[in-house]
Amino acid sequence: MKTWWRQSSLYTQLSIVSVTVLSIIILGLSYSSLQTQKTALFSKLQADANIMAKNVAFSSQYPLISNKLDNLENLLLSAARYPDVLNLQVMTPQGNNLGHITILDSGKIKIIYDLSPNLIPLKFSSNKRHITQTKHKLSIWQPIHNSTHIGWVLLEINLKPYQVIQKKLALDTFVNGFIIILLNLIILLGVLFFPLRQLSKAIEFSQKLINMPGKTLDLQGGSKEVNQLISTLNKASAQLKIQDDKIANTNTLLEQKIATRTKNLQETNKRLILLQHAIEQSHSSLLITDNLHVITYVNPALEKLSGYSEMELIGMTPSALKSANNELDVIEPITQILNDGNEWIGEFVNQRKDGSDYWVRSIISPVKNDQGEITNFIAIEDDISGNKKFEHELHQHANYDILTGLPNRKLGLDILQKAILNTQNHHSKMAILFLDLDRFKNINDTVGHHVGDLALIEAADRILGCLRPQDSVARLGGDEFLIILQDIMDTTKLDTLLKNIETELTKPYLLEDREHILGASIGIAISPDDSDNASDLLRQADSAMYTAKRNGRGQHQFYTQSIADKVLHKSQMTAALYHAIEQNEFTLLYQPIMDLHKEKITHCEALIRWNSPHLGSIGPDIFIPIAEESVLIIDIGYWVIRQACRDAKKWDIQTISVNIASAQLREAEFIQTLKTILEEEAFPANKLCMELTEHSLMEDVSSIRKSLQALVKMKVQLSIDDFGTGYSSLSYLKHFPCRFIKIDKSFIDDVAINREDASLVDAIIHMGHALSRTIIAEGVETEAQLNKVKSQGCDYVQGYFISKPLSAHAFEKLIHV
């Protein structure tokens, strides 16, 4: 309903509204006026009738009184002529007619002479007029008085004419009303017809306007508003035309520009296509990334080389191609250089999709836009796997024995040189073994060189199998091998290794279904004991080997006797140690540890010394390893703890450090026994510090972890000794709950003069501080060293420059000064 109204024309709306409103108003007014008229009419009618009745009554007086019935009749006849009189009677008070006039329907007047008396309603009093009304008749009973009641006038008025008039009035009124409404409507719509028609023409025009700019509507509006609308539309039309023309012009210009541009583009396109072909067909691999190093394009050559499809590579970074077998991390440095806007040229190893590696020589360049901003990186790579392979082979050929795969003489000597240097740096010992296979010539002579080769290969393998990671073996030539054993601190280790090698090599060789027995003659030189010169050592080892061969083959011979002696003495020493504890042959010395910030002695380290009556003064570096091979280390360890507690009980220091072997921590009773000792000696656990070497920690961490955790729980301090010499990973350090880190002497030695050592120390200090540990520098022997480590932020120093290890008495004196 409501949408219909909103969409209907103005004309319709006006019509409907006008009709409705006018109808309501006019019909309403008509009705009310009609009612008023009706009432008025009837009132008048009644009033007139009353007056007439009264008049008749009045006029009848004389005829009645004088009994002039003819006059009465005349009177009635004339009164009856009044309109709408139906019946007029004058009668006696009793109701006897004295005159009776009736008007027939035809309008004819009839005189009635009827003697039958009228029934005067009983309730009529003779004092007043009585009016009764039926549907069509109004009856007025008017009494005739002349001081007394002398008669009645009965006047009956026909209401039909009145009703007819009424109806006619009503009809007229309503007809008038309708006419008024109609006229109004006609006038209204007439007036509006023209403007509205012009308006719809204008609307039509406006709709067509869009398609026919420039056309004007030449029309009179019929009203101000429509005129304005038409004139505006015409203006708009003109405007549209102008704009249309403008657009047409612009279009023409644009088309020209487009033609020119298209031509340019086509030329550019040709060039691009050419370039594209060049890239796609190039033999070099091409890779393009965006400025965030995300691959956006690879050429077919790269696809072929890498085994990946373009689809697989797009969206990845070039690091996805890198092989894990790169020696160095190549990604970080390259990225840095490139991001700085520089070119990088270099080689690295990539990995194919099938997992195989290949070497590439790569030129990676940044690509900049006109504003100088890097938008892309482009890498041109050439497969140099072939070259590399060749290089490798060359290298191999130059340095390795083809038969056994072991380093050849050249490389072997290189290794030896390096090993000597390393040993010097670490103040450790190394052994070189000159090994000659026994009865090798036999095989060659009897079964042939090819079996001999097989024997050599087998022997090489067996030797390798006996070595530790830090050891090396090279084939010097023929059946001679050079074995380099590094980090031989204790001769027992050497002993074990020698034994292993000899055992292995003496095992039968099954070569071409025949068993052969070989042996080995080994000459041993120790560095730095025997020499710190490579050629000297070789010579010494060689001569030792000849001695072994002279002595009957299948044995080894040391160049220096003292070592041998030492080896021989191992068992003697063990026995002596056994009694050392009960016979009080051990003493503890205390080396002060100074606080660099406070410049005060606040800690000390307990160091054991053995004065054997039989063997003399033996340093802990000799007897401790022997003790560690047996259970003696446990008891010695406990003795050290107990003695340290007793001595340090009264001292005003924060901690006293005691060296602990991993074997002690592995012992099941260790924690309980420690607790007992501390209780017995009434020594606070937090004043005790336990030093473990980095080496021992690395050896078997899991089994000693429990003990460490227990120690921590007890509030015993922990310290890592000789830090930097082991292979501990830094992440392990994070987990090891030590308070102190003792930088190994080897780093401190050259800290003041060697930049690398200084950097390393600096690094250790910073790292240690970062992990909230306290750093102690060991082996500080010069002022320069002290100042250096102090400047680097080291917390404590220990060494000969501060004090040599002191007796308990001396130490006590020192700190109480």
Partner 1 sequence: MNLKRIALIASLMSFTCVTFAESFTWSVVPQFTSSAIHHDWTPILKELEKRTGHTFTLKIYETFNEFETDFLVGKSDFSYMNPYHILMAKQTQNYTPLIRDEKSQLTGILVSRRGSNIQTLSDLQNQKIAFAAPNAFAASLYMQALLKNKEHIDITPYYAGSHSNAYRQVLTGQTQAAGGVYRTLTKEPPEAQAALQVIYKTPSTAAHAIVVHPRVSAKIQIEIQQAILDLTQTKKGQNLLNAILIPKPVKASYQQDYQVLEQLNLTPIVYGQ
Q: Which of 23, 50, 61, 71 binds partner 1 (CB under 8 A)?
A: 71
Q: Which of 44, 68, 353, 649 binds partner 1 (CB under 8 A)?
A: 68
Write down the least CB distance from residue 97 to partner 1, Å: 7
From CA 444, how far away is CA 47, in angstroms rounded? 173
73 forms part of the interface with partner 1 (CB under 8 A)? yes
| CA atoms lying within 13 Å on the CB side of residue 364 | 30
Size of the site for partner 1 (CB under 8 A): 18
β partners of residue 382: 361
Name the token pair of 29. 């007014």
Contact predicate 708/675, CB 8 Å: no
The nearer residue to partner 1, 56 or 321, going by C-beta atoms, is 56
CA angle at 403 for the pair 400 and 408, rounded to the nearest 5°:
25
DSSP string, 481-523: EEEEE----SHHHHHHHHHHHHHHHHS-EEETTEEE--EEEEE
Q: Which stretch binds partner 1 (CB under 8 A): 62-70, 206-214, 291-299, 541-549?
A: 62-70
Write down the least CB distance from residue 100 to partner 1, Å: 9
237 forms part of the interface with partner 1 (CB under 8 A)? no
Write down the least CB distance from residue 114 to partner 1, Å: 9
The nearer residue to partner 1, 87 or 707, going by C-beta atoms, is 87
Q: Which stretch binds partner 1 (CB under 8 A): 63-71, 175-183, 280-288, 488-496?
A: 63-71
The CA R_g of the chain, rounded to the nearest whole Å, is 69
133: left (phi over 0), alpha (psi -120 to 50) or beta: beta
The nearer residue to partner 1, 69 or 265, going by C-beta atoms, is 69
Residues of 242-252 as b/e, b for ≥16 C-beta within 10 angstroms?
A: eeeeeeeeeee
From CA 471, how far away is CA 486, in angstroms rounded? 6
Write down the least CB distance from residue 113 to partner 1, Å: 4
Q: What is the DSSP letter of 25?
A: I
The nearer residue to partner 1, 4 or 113, going by C-beta atoms, is 113
Name the token pair of 335. 């990225």
The nearer residue to partner 1, 99 or 452, going by C-beta atoms, is 99
The nearer residue to partner 1, 74 or 243, going by C-beta atoms, is 74
65 forms part of the interface with partner 1 (CB under 8 A)? no
The nearer residue to partner 1, 98 or 286, going by C-beta atoms, is 98
Q: Which of 4, 6, 70, 617 binds partner 1 (CB under 8 A)?
A: 70
Q: Could you tell me the CA-to-CA distances from 477 to 294, 408, 432 in Å, in that order?
A: 53, 8, 16
Q: Which stretch binds partner 1 (CB under 8 A): 72-80, 553-561, 647-655, 737-745?
A: 72-80
From CA 142, how far away is CA 123, in angstroms rounded? 14
**Which residues have CB under 8 Å from 184's CB, separation 6+?**
18, 22
Write down the least CB distance from residue 116 to partner 1, Å: 10
Write down the least CB distance from residue 81 to partner 1, Å: 14
Q: Could you tell me the CA-to-CA distances from 550 to 495, 522, 560 in Å, in that order?
A: 21, 11, 17
The nearer residue to partner 1, 96 or 673, going by C-beta atoms, is 96
Write down the least CB distance from residue 87 to partner 1, Å: 14
Q: Which stretch binds partner 1 (CB under 8 A): 71-79, 556-564, 726-734, 777-785?
A: 71-79
Burial label for 190, CB within 10 Å (0-12, 13-18, 19+), is exposed
Q: Which of 74, 249, 250, 281 binds partner 1 (CB under 8 A)?
A: 74
Q: Which stretch binds partner 1 (CB under 8 A): 68-76, 273-281, 509-517, 567-575?
A: 68-76
**Which residues have CB under 8 Å from 580's CB, separation 6+?**
586, 610, 612, 636
Q: Which of 8, 36, 67, 446 binds partner 1 (CB under 8 A)?
A: 67
267 phi and psi angles, rounded to 5 deg? -65, -45
The nearer residue to partner 1, 61 or 200, going by C-beta atoms, is 61
The nearer residue to partner 1, 101 or 548, going by C-beta atoms, is 101
The nearer residue to partner 1, 112 or 186, going by C-beta atoms, is 112
Q: Which has the closest alpha carbon to 414: 476, 489, 477, 494? A: 476
The nearer residue to partner 1, 7 or 116, going by C-beta atoms, is 116
75 to 114: interface string for partner 1, x by CB under 8 A: ---------------------xxxx----------xxxx-
CA 595 vs. chain centroid, Å, equals 48
Residues that bind partner 1 (CB under 8 A): 66-74, 96-99, 110-113, 115
